């Protein structure tokens, strides 16, 4: 065992896993773009105060899981534990609250929490995240749930359940708190120590307690829904109606509360149902109409949802969904000639320019060893140079799976390799859009207009 290990709760993503995360990111980011949520990137470090009033001091995230990385005299810095306050901070800092509303953002970042690692719970983990600022309609709440449901379905996850609840807006919640505090205070003695504390700090979270002794008391507690004002109830029904209309299955869980202070009205969690992952959320979010006021900005509603990439990746693996293959070169260049390194590179360059993935064996080992290595690295095709047969403008293109080969002129290598493996698209920078009118029959560059054969 090596002397060095990754720090507690962190891990290395080896190529296959890294490719899996990249694949999931590509899917969710493309979906976000389709919904009008462009990506925003915020720093890994934030001032601690960004999370104190927003996420809330009574939350576990702020109360005991913040990752402190302060430098002396440079403020109180933490590794960001979650996205929403950071994105809101960036939004305000750039003055985007003075731009047309609503504003939508997608984020994908590593998050950090100083917690004891557990199944699918790490100190560094990755979240994708959606935020919609400036819209109070319940339709946006529907949108983020529908988005998440669509995404999870798209990547092939089946074992999850959508749970929703409402906890009322800031005004009504004061009444809710009052009623709950009034109910729990005389029963204090019967609650667990943690819940006794919650009666003072965040009484709503008593409802969420999993402790058996608390649940008995919670059962008799007043129901949040009964305590809310009409506007909150209407908002909640609009959410439910929207989901029902879209055919999205969900369950109303009256005790679902979520541990972050900024939530108002809608709270939602996507829970895994596989017995091995029971109780683990693959995504969660809700509405936070009071967030901006809390940050000292002008009041503005907001809705967001975030999902754990790690959780999703392992849940998919558990469901036997192949997320990604370890990236391997399709083509391996080998040579029996010791002094032709430049040749091998030029050979590779020609293939790479067409999008083939090409690795080169630079060694002078025996040809059979080079081929063996090529096979072990997963190459499908070997381009063999420098043998008596393959000289003077010729190489051999060998299909390593079919064990067939053909002597090929250098000029035709790209074509010959293309008969065995498919090149990958080469990414490019932004290109000017082509005018759709140019595609009209009869336009420049197109053939003359031909009548519809059905005419």
Q: Any contact of residue 279 with RNA (CB under 7 A)?
A: yes
> Between 143 and 208, whose beta carbon lies closer to RNA?
208
> Between 324 and 375, whose beta carbon lies closer to RNA?
375
Cβ burial, residue 392 (10 Å; 0-12/13-18/19+): exposed
Q: Nearest distance from residue 455's CB to RNA, in Å?
A: 55
Q: Any contact of residue 318 with RNA (CB under 7 A)?
A: no
Q: Any contact of residue 226 with RNA (CB under 7 A)?
A: no
Q: Any contact of residue 306 with RNA (CB under 7 A)?
A: yes
> Between 101 and 121, whose beta carbon lies closer to RNA?
121
**What is the biggest distance separating any 2 CA atoms in the chain, rounded to whole angstroms?**
95
> Between 233 and 328, whose beta carbon lies closer to RNA?
328
- Among the listed ranges 291-299, 345-353, 381-389, 418-426, the one in contact with RNA (CB under 7 A) is 381-389
User: 128 has which bridge partners?
Assistant: 108, 307
Instruction: Give me 15's structure tokens.
Output: 């190529």
- Among the listed ranges 33-41, 138-146, 180-188, 382-390, the one in contact with RNA (CB under 7 A) is 382-390
> Is there a contact between 173 and 205 (Cβ–Cβ < 8 Å)?
no
Q: Any contact of residue 25 with RNA (CB under 7 A)?
A: no
Residues 249-278 within binding reach of RNA (CB under 7 A): 257-260, 269-270
Give me the phi and psi of 140, to 5 degrees please: -70, -35
Among 54, 264, 405, 408, binds RNA (CB under 7 A): 405
Render the burial of 298-322: b for 16+ CB within 10 Å, e for the rest.
Answer: eebbbbbbbbbbbbbbbbbeeeeee
Among 205, 235, 265, 420, binds RNA (CB under 7 A): 205
Q: Nearest distance from residue 300's CB to RNA, in Å?
A: 21
Residues 2-21 within binding reach of RNA (CB under 7 A): 2-3, 5-10
Cis upstream peptide for 60 (omega within 30°): no
Residues 135-164 within binding reach of RNA (CB under 7 A): none
From the centroid of its chain, how far is CA 376?
32
DSSP three-state, residue 226: helix
Residues 60-119 within binding reach of RNA (CB under 7 A): 60-61, 64, 82, 113-119
Q: Which of 390, 380, 388 is nearest to 347 (CA)?
A: 390
Residues 319-358 within binding reach of RNA (CB under 7 A): 336
Q: Which of 223, 189, 193, 186 is nearest to 209 (CA)?
A: 193
> Between 92 and 305, whose beta carbon lies closer to RNA?
305
> Between 244 and 364, whose beta carbon lies closer to RNA?
364
Q: What is the four-CA torsion angle of 50, 51, 53, 55, rounded to 10 degrees?
A: 140
């Amino acid at each position: 065992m090596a002397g060095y290990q990754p720090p507690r709760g962190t891990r290395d993503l080896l190529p296959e896993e890294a490719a899996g995360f990249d694949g999931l990111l590509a899917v969710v980011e493309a979906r976000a773009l389709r919904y009008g949520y462009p990506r925003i990137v915020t720093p890994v470090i934030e001032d601690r105060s960004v999370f104190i009033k927003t996420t809330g001091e009574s939350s576990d995230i702020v109360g005991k899981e913040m990752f402190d990385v302060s430098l002396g005299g440079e403020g109180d810095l933490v590794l960001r534990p979650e996205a929403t306050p950071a994105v809101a901070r960036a939004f305000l800092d750039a003055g985007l609250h003075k731009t047309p509303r609503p504003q939508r953002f997608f984020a994908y970042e590593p998050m950090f929490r100083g917690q004891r690692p557990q199944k699918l719970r790490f100190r560094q983990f990755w979240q994708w995240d959606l935020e919609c600022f400036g819209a109070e309609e319940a339709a946006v709440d529907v949108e983020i749930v529908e988005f998440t449901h669509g995404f999870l379905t798209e990547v092939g996850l089946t074992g999850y359940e959508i749970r929703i609840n409402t906890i009322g807006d800031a005004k009504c919640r004061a009444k809710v708190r009052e009623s709950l505090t009034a109910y729990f205070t005389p029963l204090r003695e019967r609650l667990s120590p943690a819940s006794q504390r919650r009666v003072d700090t965040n009484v709503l979270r008593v409802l969420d307690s999993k402790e058996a002794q608390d649940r008995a008391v919670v059962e008799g507690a007043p129901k949040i829904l009964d305590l809310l004002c009409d506007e909150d109830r209407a908002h909640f029904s609009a959410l439910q109606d929207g989901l029902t209309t879209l055919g999205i299955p969900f369950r109303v869980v009256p005790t679902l509360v979520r541990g972050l202070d900024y939530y108002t009205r809608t709270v939602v969690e996507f829970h895994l149902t596989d017995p091995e992952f029971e109780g683990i959320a693959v995504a969660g979010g809700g509405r936070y109409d009071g967030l901006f006021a809390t940050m000292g900005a002008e009041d503005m509603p907001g809705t967001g949802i975030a999902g754990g990439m790690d959780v999703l990746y392992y849940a998919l693996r558990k469901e036997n969904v192949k997320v990604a293959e370890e990236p391997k070169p399709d083509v391996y260049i080998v040579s029996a000639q010791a002094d032709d390194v430049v040749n091998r590179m030029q050979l590779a360059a020609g293939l790479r320019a067409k999008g083939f993935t090409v690795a080169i064996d630079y060694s002078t080992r025996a040809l059979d060893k080079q081929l063996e290595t090529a096979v072990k690295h997963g190459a499908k095709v070997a381009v063999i140079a420098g043998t008596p047969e393959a000289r003077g403008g010729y190489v051999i293109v060998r299909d390593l799976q079919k064990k067939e080969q053909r002597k090929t002129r250098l000029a035709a290598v790209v074509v010959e390799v293309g008969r065995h493996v498919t090149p990958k698209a080469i990414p490019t920078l932004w290109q000017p859009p082509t005018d759709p009118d140019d595609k009209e029959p009869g336009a420049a560059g197109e053939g003359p207009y031909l009548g519809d054969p059905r005419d």
